[in-house]
Chains A and B, each alone.
Chain A
Amino acid sequence: MPTPNDHPTRRVHVEINGQAVVRDVECRKHLTDFLREDCGLKGSHLGCEHGVCGACTVRVDGQIVRGCLVLAAQADGCRIETVETETPSPRLKALQDAFIEHNALQCGYCTPGMLMAALDLVERRPHAGREEVRAWISGNYCRCTGYHAIVDAVCAVLAQQQAGRFSDAALLEAAK
């Protein structure tokens, strides 16, 4: 029987929000603990650590994952995006604004994961309706809002997107 004294480590190279990071990390450590404890990025939260609540949702090589179900070692060589990015994409910024405008967060603990899931929806399902938004975010638990305002906020950003707000031309115009 292995003793708990002996936890092998592995060197991990990742890019987090555009920054290259190299750390030696215990093989048993999951990605969210790695982000929080080894990288000082406290924006990803832990609500259950068994893959249900979605508070730890981050993107790994463009795919949203539950950080508590991915080992840090598995993310070796990957590009990781979290809500703490200093350069939010126009869609993420629009979602952050819409969450505030609609009061789509109360305590804010689920919000980082909820935003990453919503960002994925806005990018992948540009024509999603209200019911699809509800289904898409139903892997993210929020105890405060009852979800209605979150759905409102995501739908508002989808509408902005359909109106062309994130088109290259519009972004170029906004940059001026």
Chain B
Amino acid sequence: MNHPTDLPTRRDLGADLPAVTEDQRHIGVAIPREGTRRLTEGRGQFIDDIELPRMAHVAFWRSPVAHMRITRIERSAAQALPGVIAVVTGPEIAALCKPWVATLAHLAGIKSAPQYPLAMDRATWQGEAVVAVVAETRARAEDALALLEIEWEDLPAVLDTQTALDPATPLIHPELGDNLCFERQLDTGGVDEAVARADAVIFGETYVFGRHTGVTLEPRCQIADWNPGDQKLTVHHSFQAPHMMQDLYCRQFGLQEQQVRVLCRDVGGSFGIKVHAYPDDFATVALSIMLKRPVKFVADRIESFVSDIHAREHRIDAKIVATRAGEILAFEIDDLTGIGPFSMFPRTSGIEGNQVVNLTGGPYKHKAYRARLRVVFQNKTPTCQYRGVGHPIACAVTEALVDGMAMKLGRDPIDFRQQNVIPDDAYPATGASGIKLELLSHEACLREARRLCDYDTLRAEQATLRKTGVYRGIGVAALIELTNPSAAFYGVGGARIASQDGATLRLEPSGALTVMSSVGEQGQGAEAIFAQIAADAVGVDIGRVRIVTGDTDATPYGGGTWASRGAGIGGEAVLQAGRVLRENILATAEAILQRDRQELRVFRGAVVDARSGAVLLELAELGRIAYFRSDTLPKTFTPELMVTRHYAQRDYPFIFTNGVQVSHVEVDTDTGFVRLLKHWAIEDCGRVINPMLVDEQMRGAIVQGIGGALFEECLYDTDGTLRNGNMADYLVPMAAEMPDIVVGHVQSPTRSSMLGAKGAGEAGTAGAPGAVMNAINDALAPFGVRLSSQPITPEKILRALGKI
């Protein structure tokens, strides 16, 4: 049921906090993104829209089976097809591109095997690229794929995580000695003591999270353009981190940074899918170098399903211990996760499970915690970081345990959480897993969630409807989300992934402002908020600000988009550069006007008298003089109207955000269908720069979380082939099934930056699976059954109810 939104987005949240700039008009305000107009007119520039001279197209022959030894590749017929330019195999590509092994030094003991752009002698998952066909058109390249004659010997496929480590199970990489990629144990002590207490109440369950994938509507795509004349590589990429890829191309191909330019213009959805280095990406670059011409690769949907990273396949035995009086004493988890045959480059596939260990129990003040994580290899598509990265799992496990315990103790779920969350006045705090928490607001968010959803009315309605055979449920989830990471995330582990970002601001002669940021745009609105921050920091109208991102030749060096860091890190760099540029403008005005700087301020596009506000010098006039009439300025003074500042968060390993989500569902106990009635989210991402964009990040992320909770799963056959690798069979959330989502805000700015912004992009995905699962279990409480395996399908519900 979709009610109209009863609470309109608040247009201005800036007034709730002390201003961060002198004349704050844009920060905190819901300003629409006028920059998206071209996208509404079909005039974006996505990769597949770009056509270059001499451009060729590549299509890959991918392994049709989970594990095979390649015995023969006969390519003469394919090569002979008119329009085919080259047919290339793994060893030929390997001569140009070094193999890689994705490990991180701070994930002690993590191991993987060397991986190549194209399979060498074995293919280890269905979808691994084996042969590349380059032709004048993609269609012709696909025609040629059908003419390849490839023979192979089937090898046994390792699929089941629960038997992957058994001695009888074949090894995917015999040289590694076992199928274990990574293992971690954490024990604070005290769990067994908590269990042994006389007043201990224990609740335990096994949680299963299906494999799913990102399904960016624009598939992965790129054009690699090696120019033999100047020995330079340009890659037009649909990607989140251009500098990271520039670095990787240099390292894998033996190039220098001055030879490599990565450009990211419009990116049709990313969500973490487009922040990894894929084998076919390196293969495309190698082909361009080999053929000395641009090569375009655009994955089709079928190959996206088997070659984009997957995520989430976890099985977790978990328990919670509390006192009869309702004090949570301990959490314990044992997480087993399967990641495919290789750890993914360069972030590794150990991080998701590592996050589950770090984050489980995160909102609560218990002291005892024990966790074990095992990350195992299997012959399925590699998994890696996808929106939320471990948070949706940790949150769902934690919040299902908390709800289970509340039910066991006969406590209201919100009251039980209020009793056990780390209090808002207890920060900075350290969580049981050792995570450092700067400033969170669980109590305030729970209060606001209760108010916003009109909780007591929902409960009363639920009780009334139950008598008529209508089963509604209310599910609550408190969450923490790591954002604004320091170098502790990847840099300390040896990965060349920047945690810092930079912004360059240039005052143009006309008084316009150009902002160049190393954080790019994939739809979240990074460019829009940078314009808002720059306009306020310098003191110009937002209409005079232009943003340039996604070009390693043009922007400062930085990490790009990942771990909810664009606003908090990239935005702070813009603010700092803007503050310095404003000072430099005043210094220039001082030189022009021969007035003391203290008497001047920059105000709405002009230098004005600080006391009277009278306009003394329009910025256009200041720019004219500074750039074209330097002869009129004092000889000792040079205007510096272009400023670069960088920012890295160094106070904490991460700046955590928090929030509370409430899901309202109705379960049809005859069909097992779940109707999502409404969803509420209270979020605290610190200073909100644009409330509309934060709302939309929350909504989009929540729906992605709902997708994993109810619909999405990569289903594998017993032989390791993906059964539902298309959009008809792999269910994604569509408009009709989705609820309206009401978003509320609490603002606890981080003190690690002047801006005070934390990340907002992933918290929605973190909380939704837990909230929805709790709502379903709440609805089914009268039947004494619980669901703990996601996606929660109608079939699983009917089985739980004993109806099938």
Contacts of A52 in B (CB 8 A): 726-728
Which of B33, B214, B525, B735 counts the most A-chain CB atoms under 10 A from its CB? B735
Cross-chain contact A5 with B40 (CB below 8 angstroms): no
Range for the number of chain B residues in contact with chain A: 35 or more
Q: Are A138 and B40 in contact (CB under 8 A)?
A: no
A106, B3: Cα distance in complex, Å: 23
User: Taking beta carbons and an 8 Å cutoff, which residues of B are in contact with A?
Assistant: 1-5, 32-34, 36-37, 39-44, 46, 48-49, 81-82, 137, 139, 143-144, 146-147, 214-219, 266-271, 300-301, 522-525, 692-693, 696, 699-704, 726-728, 732-738, 740-741
Please report the C-alpha to C-alpha distance between residue A49 and residue B728 in the assembled complex, in whole angstroms.
11
Contacts of B735 in A (CB 8 A): 133-135, 137-138, 140, 142, 147, 150-151
Q: How far is A102 from B8 in the complex, measured between Cα atoms in Å?
A: 11
Q: Which of B147, B696, B737 contacts A149 (CB 8 A)?
A: B696
Q: Which residues of A contact B42 (CB under 8 A)?
A: 41-44, 82-84, 112
Residues A109 and B738 in contact in the complex (CB < 8 Å), given A43-B43, A50-B726, A103-B33: no
| Nearest chain B residue, comparing its CB with the CB of A130 | B2
Asked if A144 is at the interface of the complex by the 8 Å CB criterion, the answer is yes
8 contacts between A and B (CB under 8 A): A84-B42, A103-B33, A103-B525, A109-B46, A109-B217, A141-B734, A142-B217, A143-B217
A120-176 interface with B by 8 A CB criterion:
130-131, 133-135, 137-152, 155
Q: Shortest beta-carbon distance, B803 to chain A, in Å?
A: 27
Does residue A73 face the partner (Cβ distance < 8 Å to B)? no
Cross-chain contact of A103 among B696, B726, B740, B741 (Cβ < 8 A): B696
Q: How far is the CA of A84 from the CA of B39 in the complex (A)?
A: 10
Residue pair A84, B740 in contact (C-beta under 8 Å): no
Residues of A with C-beta under 8 A to B737? 138
Question: Roughly how many angstroms separate A134 CA and B36 CA in the complex, as a whole number?
Answer: 23
Question: Are B693's CB and A47's CB within 8 A?
Answer: no
The minimal Cβ–Cβ distance linking B527 to chain A, given in whole angstroms, is 12
Chain B interface secondary structure, helix, strand, loop or mixed?
loop
The docked-state distance in angstroms from the alpha carbon of A162 to that of B269 is 34
Q: Is A46 interfacial (CB 8 A cutoff)?
A: yes
Give chain B residues whose Cβ lies under 8 Å from the Cβ of A140: 734-735
User: A111-B40, A144-B523 are known contacts. Are A55 and B696 too (CB-CB below 8 A)?
Assistant: no
A143 close to B269 (CB less than 8 A):
yes
Cα of A112 to Cα of B44 in the assembled complex, Å = 10
A4 contacts chain B at the CB level, 8 A cutoff: yes
Q: What chain A residues lie within 8 Å of B36 (beta carbons)?
A: 99-100, 103, 105, 108
Across the interface, which residues of A come within 8 angstroms of B139, CB to CB?
A: 26, 28-29, 33
Other-chain contact of A96, B37, B524, B728 (Cβ < 8 Å): B37
**Please, which residues of chain B bring their CB within 8 A of the CB of A135?**
735-736
Q: Which of A28, A137, A143, A152 has the most CB of B within 10 A?
A: A143
Chain B residue contacts of A112, Cβ below 8 A: 42
Alpha-carbon gap, A149 to B523, bound state (A): 14
CA distance A26 to B83 in the complex (A): 15
Contacts of B732 in A (CB 8 A): 141, 143
Cβ-closest 6 pairs across A and B: A43-B42, A108-B39, A106-B523, A109-B268, A107-B523, A146-B703
In the complex, chain B residues whose CB is within 8 Å of the CB of A150: 735
Task: Given A137-B735, A147-B735, answer yes or no on A107-B268 (Cβ-Cβ < 8 Å).
Answer: yes
Shortest distance from the beta carbon of A134 to any chain B beta carbon, whole Å: 4
Q: Do B699 and A141 have beta carbons less than 8 Å apart?
A: no
Q: Does A48 contact B (CB under 8 A)?
A: yes
Give 5 A-B pairs besides A42-B42, A106-B524, A150-B735 with Cβ atoms closer than 8 angstroms: A45-B268, A47-B218, A131-B1, A134-B2, A155-B4
Residues of A within 8 A of B300 (CB): 49
CA distance A155 to B5 in the complex (A): 11
Kindly state the separation between the CA atoms of A101 and B40 in the bound complex, as whole angstroms: 12
Bound Cα distance A29, B143 (Å): 13
Q: Are B44 and A108 in contact (CB under 8 A)?
A: yes
Please tell me if A16 contacts chain B, counting CB pairs below 8 Å: no
Is A50 touching B727 in the complex (CB atoms < 8 A)?
yes
Contact yes or no, B143 A141, CB < 8 A: no
Asked if B727 and A148 make an inter-chain contact with CB atoms under 8 angstroms apart, the answer reads no
Q: Whole-angstrom distance between the alpha carbons of A29 and B522 in the complex?
A: 30
Of all chain A residues, which has the CB nearest B698? Answer: A146
Which residues on the B side are within 8 Å of A148 (C-beta)? 5, 699, 738, 740-741
Contact with B along A51-65 (1 / 0, CB 8 A): 111010000000000
Contact B217 A53 (CB under 8 A): yes
Most B CB contacts (10 A, CB to CB) among A82, A96, A144 go to A144
Check if B268 sits within 8 Å of A46, measured CB to CB. no
Contact between chains at A108 and B2 (CB < 8 Å)? no
C-alpha gap A139/B147 in the complex (Å): 36
The residues of B that contact A48 with a CB separation of less than 8 Å are: 301, 726-727
Whether A14 sits at the interface, judged by CB under 8 Å, is: no
* CB atoms of A100 and B37 under 8 A apart: yes
A134 to B2, CA, bound (A): 9
Output the least CB separation between A8 and chain B (Å).
14
The answer, among A44, A49, A88, A100, for a CB contact under 8 Å with B33, is: A100
Minimal Cβ-Cβ distance residue in A for B699:
A146
Query: How distant is A102 from chain B, measured CB to nearest CB, in Å?
Result: 8
- Rounded to whole Å, the gap between the CB of B697 and the closest CB of chain A is 8
Contact of A143 among B41, B44, B271 (CB under 8 A): B271
Specify which chain A residues have a CB less than 8 angstroms from the CB of B218 in the assembled complex: 45, 47, 107, 109
Q: Mark A86-103, 1 if CB is under 8 A from B, else 0.
A: 001000000110011111
Q: Is A115 an interface residue (CB 8 A)?
A: yes
The answer to whether B727 touches A130 (Cβ under 8 A) is no
Separation of A65 and B602 alpha carbons in the complex (Å) = 54
Residues of A within 8 A of B39 (CB): 105, 108, 111
Verify if A110 is at the interface (C-beta below 8 Å from B).
yes
Give Cα A53 to B302, complex, Å: 13
Q: Which residue of A lies closest to B143 (CB)?
A: A4
Q: Chain B residues with Cβ under 8 A from A151's Cβ?
A: 2, 735, 740
What B residues does A99 contact at CB under 8 A?
Answer: 36, 40
Q: Are B734 and A149 in contact (CB-based, < 8 A)?
A: no
What's the Cα separation between A37 and B41 when bound, in Å? Answer: 18
B32 CB contact (under 8 Å) in A28, A88, A101, A115? A101
Q: Which residues of B contact A29 (CB under 8 A)?
A: 139
Give chain B nearest CB distance to A81 CB in angstroms. 11
